Chain A
Amino acid sequence: MDTLQLKGYALTKIDFIGKDVLSSDCDIIVFLLDNCEITIDENSVFFGTVNTADIMQSVILARARKFFDKINEAGFKDGFDSLAYTGMADFSHTTTQWKDLLSLGIVGVRDRIAEYEQNATDPAKRRFYSEILRVWNASLRFLRRAEDIAANAGKNKMSNSLKHLVKRRPLTLYEAMQTIIVYYNLQMFFDGTFLRTLGRIDSLLYPFYKDEDKEVADSLLVSFLREVDKLKAIANIPFSIGGTDEAGLSLTNDLSIGLIDAYGKAGTHNTKFHILYSENMPDIILKKAFSEIRAGNNSIVFMNDSVIIRALLKIGEKYSDAVDYHVVGCYECGGNGELTCSCNGRINIPKALEVALGGGKDALTGKQIGLKNDGIFPTFEDLYTEFKRQLKCFVDCAAKCTDIFEKEYRNIHSAPILSATYQSAMDKGGDLYCDYTAVYNNSSINAVGLGTAVDSLVAIKKAVYDDKVLSLDELRRVLSENWVNDEVLRLTIKNKYPKWGNGIAEADKIGKRIVDDLSEMINGRKNEKGGVYRLGMFSIDWRWYLGEKTAASADGRKNGDTLSQNSGATFGAEKNSATAHFRSVASIDAEKTPNATIVDIDFHSSAVEGKNGLDALISSLKGYFKSGGFAVHYNVLNTEMLKKAYLSPEKYPDLQVRLCGWNVLFSSLTKREQEEFIMRSKKG
């Protein structure tokens, strides 16, 4: 059936007249599973191409739209539009319970539902089980269709494995990999709930890997990564290696190493590695990972096990769940059993300072988006207190906006495929979203532009309160004129004032303080789902959009310029090397940021060359994590190569760089973004 017919059917179901969201979603999903187009690429080793035309996304958007009206009605429109704060639903950052999935197989998940249905006495629960059973039965029919198509295409290994997976759990490495890819398709394109990690893949696949012939297994790993690379994703497709068990032992195994080797060979640019580092992780993993990074395969993020576990414990998760955490999307963490909503709310930290100085008004639009004040701040402490009050106001608004959506999940989206894989959802007999049946039903608020805010506060403290170069009113004039008449002051602040990211105590103190304050406002705050809010300190590509709506700031930034990247320095402000950058970011108490603190470290290729360059990278990572770092991404940039790729993109189709939370091809960036990377590569 073609895309238009599929869409036409789905749209009749959106308003679910006489039906609830779960029932209506199940109708659509069953229909899609039975009718969607399945194609098998000639070169494919695994089955994994379906076309559902993103119908579930249209359905979710259509249903969610009316809740944006509620945000406007509740008085949050101006703040939302100015990107001072935002808050909404998040169906985009989940993991499945991979261990269960691989030990049960697709058919085992289906059988488990049937068993629950038979034993159910509560009619509501029983109805839930029978609805999702419809979907999982359809999933098996879908697999049979795929099996036939594979057989017709002469793909015997593929069709045989699909035939087995309809009947039993996966028994071989190939079948386990096929199960992962099939499930990815089921959840992403039929459930419509984005699956943002393939899990701790070295632990998951090891039982299958260890019995395979090593050569066969290693070649399968490369095929698997290439196949995963071809899957449609909203950013990259991440998976993890490493981590520790409850006794603190490293979970690293031969497969962890095999996967890094395969990554080096596969030449992918859509996959992403999360390396879950612990002090007892063998150095060989770090050596291999950094060798890949140096070779330009830099889609690797290091996560610090011990800090992440403590951060999750602090928001009330059980030790066994915290230890078995997952990393979804860019760097966000959730405990085992948590339905991770990592991107609900955002607050713009520099904007809170802007409205503190402007009596609660957006300096670009003149609209009242924060709290009113008299504008008189005799001391820096008075100003900071007011900044904090506005920050709290933004946090409250972001949470209230999020709440508007989250209390209505039952009217927006259900997840019959994903829910069936969660033991807690099966036990409670309800959907993960509609009925909040995860073990942890948390929400998140991410704070953007920390570096810009710190640098601005430091500048105001020094220029206005300590050195008395100008009064606060004069500063207001300077900022409202976008610095045009004060270039000398702007450059003096840019070039000579202390900045976040240089290990300077007076800046680092303020950074730490802001995060401590945000943690008090956000972590543990109750949401609408019986869970709590969690703080994250990252800005990914939002720093561009939020920057565009943020007026000139006291750090010398002009109207609309980008904000600082993630938890790190304002671009170009970190002049004191990587270790000083680490020192600043490590001054944040990252155990208060369960949704991640992340720093991007750029090196010129000459700084990482040779054996000593490699050893130094490892020492830098260990030092940063020992001093309490949460996560880090390294970028090795070669100015000459970037310049050539800028001028002749056709010659460098595979050159990839880290955009923010994920990797992109250099050639896909705008010229402005490419120029920023070239500038960045020149330092160090």
Chain B
Amino acid sequence: MSSPSTEKEIRGNIFNIQRYCTHDGPGIRTTVFLKGCPIRCAWCHNPESHDFKSEIGYNESSCIKCGKCIAVCPVHCHTVMDGKHVFDRANCIRCFKCVEVCPSALEKIGKSVTVQEVLDEVAEDKIFYKDAGGITLSGGEPLSQAEFAVGLLKGAKEMGITTCVETGGFVGYEVFEKVLPYVDLFLYDYKLTDSGLHKKYTGVDNTLILENLFRIDESGAKIILRCPIIPGVNDTEEHFSGIARVANSLKNLIKVEIEPAHTIGDMKYEQMGYGRPDLKYGVPDSEEVLLCIDKIKKYTSVTVKKS
């Protein structure tokens, strides 16, 4: 067992701390985005959350072609060809020297921080949380950095700050066991009812995810089920009834939240050098979202809302 002081020194990799969040749990929340995710959802709009290691974002439109990066790169990844700045990511050793000198276009995505450093920033907004608001861990998959997540959640509770965890659930149950005493609310993703399709679209099937969901429910955890609706992927009657079925079997469910697909973040794929995702889907308008909600409500009496 580690002592409290060393717990606060545990380091994790985060790619953002966003204050005044109103969609990640009750009240005003400070959402901490932990970097790295064990699964790859085809519709993911947060490519910067995938890799567990820090990486470089490059926004071409902000580049002023000053050549500072070319001068400092030890492996010559940055070049100008035909007046165009070319960034050869394949050979990049992620030393981030270019980021340090770049005035506008290169950005380090990911930052190694201690539990204490994060808690200090979270505490700055304590006066705004009142009874409802607090910290939300998101990602990536926040539970993949288990020790760090435990440190943050435990530390927040010690300061009297409420805690939410936004999770995809694809981690060993032992991680849930560790965080359970310090989590006020789980925002738990439920993406696809058909396990085969789940594997097709996320890379893994949903067995472990569902198992974990029911086990934390058994242990009394409060849960909001979050369901992304991706047209052409999971906007099916089978999935809508599946959502309701899961919702109906949970004892501590507060509500189901529908998260309509959106395309904000598409640009980020290029900035991260990942290439655009293959999956193309439309964005449902507000009427279509209401229709989805009605379809789910046919099978359940729990609250179903847009997030």
| A interface residues (Cβ-Cβ under 8 A, vs B) | 487-492, 494-496, 503, 576-580, 582-583, 607-610, 612-613, 615-616, 619-620, 622-624, 626-627, 684
Contact = CB atoms under 8 A, between A and B. Distances in A.
B38 interface: no
A288 to B, nearest CB: 19
Contact of A488 (B66, B125, B127): B66
A613 B28 contact: no
Interface stretch (B15-23, B147-155, B183-191, B199-207): B15-23
The size class of the interface chain B forms with chain A is 20 to 34
B133 interface: yes
Contact of B103 (A492, A608, A620): A492
Given A577-B19, A615-B132, A627-B127, A487 B66 contact: yes
Contact of A619 (B28, B66, B68): B28
Contacts of B66: 487-488
Closest 6 interchain pairs by CB? A491-B103, A623-B128, A577-B19, A577-B20, A492-B103, A623-B127
B130 A623 contact: yes
Interface string B47-76: 000000000000000001010100000000
Contacts of A608: 22
B46 interface: no
B219 interface: no
B104 interface: yes
B65 to A, nearest CB: 10
Given A488-B64, A488-B68, A616 B28 contact: yes
B124 A620 contact: no
A626 B128 CA distance: 9
A496 B101 CA distance: 10
Contacts, number: 75
Interface of B: 18-20, 22-23, 26-28, 64, 66, 68, 103-104, 124-125, 127-130, 132-133
B127 to A, nearest CB: 4
A578 B20 contact: yes
A580 B28 contact: no
Contacts of B103: 487-492, 494-496
Contacts of A487: 64, 66, 103
13 contacts: A496-B103, A576-B19, A577-B19, A579-B128, A580-B125, A582-B128, A607-B20, A612-B22, A616-B20, A616-B28, A616-B133, A619-B27, A619-B130
A580 B133 contact: no
Contacts of B64: 487-488, 491
B150 to A, nearest CB: 26
Nearest to B131: A619
Given A615-B27, A615-B132, A620-B28, A579 B68 contact: no
Contacts of B130: 619, 622-623
B128 to A, nearest CB: 4
A559 to B, nearest CB: 20
Interface centre among B20, B66, B103 (most CB of A within 10 A): B20
Contacts of A627: 127
Given A495-B104, A579-B28, A622-B130, A616 B19 contact: no
Nearest to A621: B128
A619 B19 contact: no
A490 to B, nearest CB: 8
A491 B104 contact: yes
Contacts of B132: 615, 619
A684 B22 CA distance: 11
Nearest to B306: A610
A495 B129 CA distance: 29
A609 B18 CA distance: 18
A580 B64 CA distance: 30
A503 B26 contact: no
Nearest to B100: A496
Given A488-B64, A580-B19, 8 more contacts: A487-B103, A491-B103, A496-B103, A503-B124, A577-B19, A579-B20, A615-B26, A616-B22
A613 B133 CA distance: 12
Contacts of A624: 128
A577 B128 contact: no
Nearest to B133: A619
Nearest to A489: B103
Nearest to B18: A577
Given A619-B129, A622-B130, A612 B124 contact: no
Contacts of A495: 103-104
A620 B20 contact: yes
A612 B24 CA distance: 10
Contacts of A494: 103
A613 B124 CA distance: 20
A372 to B, nearest CB: 35
Nearest to B307: A610
A612 B26 contact: yes
A309 B68 CA distance: 54
A620 B128 contact: yes
A576 B16 CA distance: 11
A624 B130 CA distance: 12
Given A612-B27, A616-B22, A583 B124 contact: yes
B78 to A, nearest CB: 15
A222 to B, nearest CB: 31
A99 B188 CA distance: 58
A654 B227 CA distance: 38
Contacts of B23: 612
Nearest to A618: B130
B214 to A, nearest CB: 27
A490 B23 CA distance: 35
A393 B19 CA distance: 40
Interface centre among A577, A582, A583 (most CB of B within 10 A): A577
A624 B22 CA distance: 17
Contact of A579 (B19, B26, B104): B19
A657 B55 CA distance: 40
A626 B26 contact: no
Contacts of A609: 22
Nearest to A612: B22
Contacts of A615: 26-27, 132
A607 B26 CA distance: 13
Contacts of B22: 607-610, 612-613, 616
Contacts of B27: 612, 615-616, 619
Nearest to B20: A577
Contacts of A613: 22
Contacts of A576: 19
